[in-house]
Structure 1
Amino acid sequence: MTALLVPPSPASPHEEGGGALGLAPITAGTYRAFLASHHGTNLGAAFLQCPSWADVKEGWHSLLLGWGPDPRAGRLSGVALVLLRQLPGTRKYFAYLPEGPVADWAAPDIDSWLGPLLEHLRAAGAFAVRIGPSPAYRRWDAALLKSFSHPGRRLGDVLASEVDPLGAAVGERLRARGWQRCGDDSSGGDGDAQPRHVFRVPLAGRSAEDLWSGLNQEWRRNVRRARKEGVEVVVGSAADLPEFYRLLRITEERDGFRLGRSLTYYERQYAALNAEEPGRMKLYLARHGGEVLAAHTMITVGRRAWYQTGASADHRREVRPSNALQWQMLLDAHSRGADVYDMRGVPSTLDPDERAYGLLRWKLGTGGQVVETLGEWERPLDGTANRTLYRAFQAYLNRR
């Protein structure tokens, strides 16, 4: 990863709450200080928007941007990690803000910060931009979805437990400004890079006893079984990543998916995130009889925790090592003060006959919610020429 240094664009100031709002490149230290501030914590940055994520992604340049009354002095109201992929044979870039920017999407005038952001990226040579707004769109409670599992049925067939008015409003605002949701027939895009449907367990205001009672009977039985069988859950280190990766390859083969990531990728991720903040990424191991049977990773930023990747062996599954791991990770996230435990992506199928439904069923047992995010949105910049470049870039990615 290389940082792309671009001077601040000479855009005219925008107004927010009566004060001039500027945008400029900022240092990683200034960026992290904002995330750790009260305002930054309330905005709830995803780990994909931490400065360290730029060091994880190879083949991309990066920008760290901040906007506010005086961004160079650290007076910020929002920040963004921008990943830039160069279109071969040109000096143009595709700009990607994974699960970002970190901004107040409820602000009455999103143009006050979105406008300067687009102007700056245009000046940096971007021909198109993709963003991942943070507001949720719809939520389904676990208990509701269990009762609606049926052959051929999907999430969209079930009336949501809750529709988030902010998410709906942000979607309307983006469409009115020429943004298109990735994967929509009219977008010309290739779908979301990050999962649109995720599973989240709310932790705020709940005790450990509440979390335990929130598990379904099968989960409680499996956690008890793991204890009875002597499954030991420990936090590993970088030295345990090769064993994690070995189990991940077994899991991919068993469950019929391929993440396409190397051991080096996970080693780089572990080093980068923990260099930024010790303990930001942890590797949990479940041991039984001296053997590691399962290994899961957890990432924590502010008051949010994510279960990112899980792996397990094919044998001795009856001792339930993965249930033991997840229960300990839930407890640890809760004890660290996390408001939510995000188990990341789930499929949209409610068909028990589909292989993918097994993952959803497993996560439903924790008693959380399926959350449909707003997904990712994109738009070319500056007319026909950049639209042509964007189509060429999509074709290039598809060939890769």
Structure 2
Amino acid sequence: MTNNEILICGAGIAGPALAYWLRKGGFAVTIVERAPAPRPGGQTVDLRGAGRTVIERMGLMGRARAESVDQRGLALVDTTGRTTARLPADSFGGEGIVSEIEILRGDLAALLYEATSPDTEYLFDDTITEIVQDADAVTVTFEKAAPRRFALVVGADGPHSVVRALAFGPERDFVHPIDLYTAWFTAFDDLDLDGWYLMHNAPGGLVVSARPGRLPREIKAGFSFRSPPLAYDRRDVAAQQEFIARRFADVGWQTPRLLRAMHTASDFFFDSMGQVRLDSWSRGRVALLGDAGYCATPLTGLGTSLALVGAYVLAGELAAAKGDHGVAFRRYDTVMRPYVNQAQQLPPGGASGYAPSGRLGIRLRDLSMRSMTRWPMRNLLAAQFAKAGDIALPEYGLAADIRDRPQSRPRGERMPATSMRPIG
């Protein structure tokens, strides 16, 4: 391949992870991202199984551990705040619902950005509007930058992928809703969580949650509910917040307090949950990675592992095939497909297990939670959690060159904004 330039759409976790390994394989990489800068904060994500192995091979595990959030585990609470069930973080060898290493999405993205920014071109505040393929390359039209030609284009831009829409077809053909919606946001409050990820269920398939962040008084809050597909404006945050406020108006526990905090949150995010399924993750010179190609939903806890492992495998196969994208894309599918198929199997009960509709369902869910560390529930859950490591990662010879060391800045201090400037 005489043109070794690859464009990645999306600067979250999957995109920069792919850029890291592609640079090891000798490719020139550009990442385009709609946001004006790397997005800070966000909810916590898990580093588990093969995803943890990829971070170790990148030489970033020490820093990831230093950035991790201290959480004692998951606890279910009733309307009075009384604990009805709990699962400590050290259950299932640290690979349970709350894993041993939980890190804010923005903190992990920042580590990956810093690892790639010296030799990766970042185009922030821009997106792709057209993709035209020919026998030799892909001509990409951007919203702001001038058109350019790349050997390959990779969509790592989430379940609502622009690249997938342009190269594969409309979202409705590939995104399969599980009839569950979630709003996430950050609150700063003196609510005492005692280090636990607290979750309260209410009739009607309603879930209210609060878990510790990394900064003092920082709380990562969530409102989830079951519903058939809804029509709403994804850009109208105020309307989304008002909808959530009405839906949860009569829910107890700390719900009123968290609803008040929601209206002033700077990072409010609302979306449906759905799985992305395609028969092939490539079309010509365009490929999909992470949630854009095989979102498993947050219920599985495997989205980050899929993104990191997929990035490692896709880059490794491109390097092994010396840029022959046809061979590489087929190998990428062969290696990843069994792992993805396993990861997309929802935990027992699926959406109804996470958000029971009635009081009896809530009581039964509490009972099953209390039984998770005992036979036979333990064996069932152990098999679910083991999926994170259920892949034999190939050795591609793409060695890391980053020293594995913890961050030197004090815990609780964010990365200075000047360290996250776009280049190129």
Q: Same fold (TM over 0.5)?
A: no
| TM-score, normalising length: structure 1 | 0.29
> Relative contact order, CA 8 A, sep 6+: which one is greater?
2
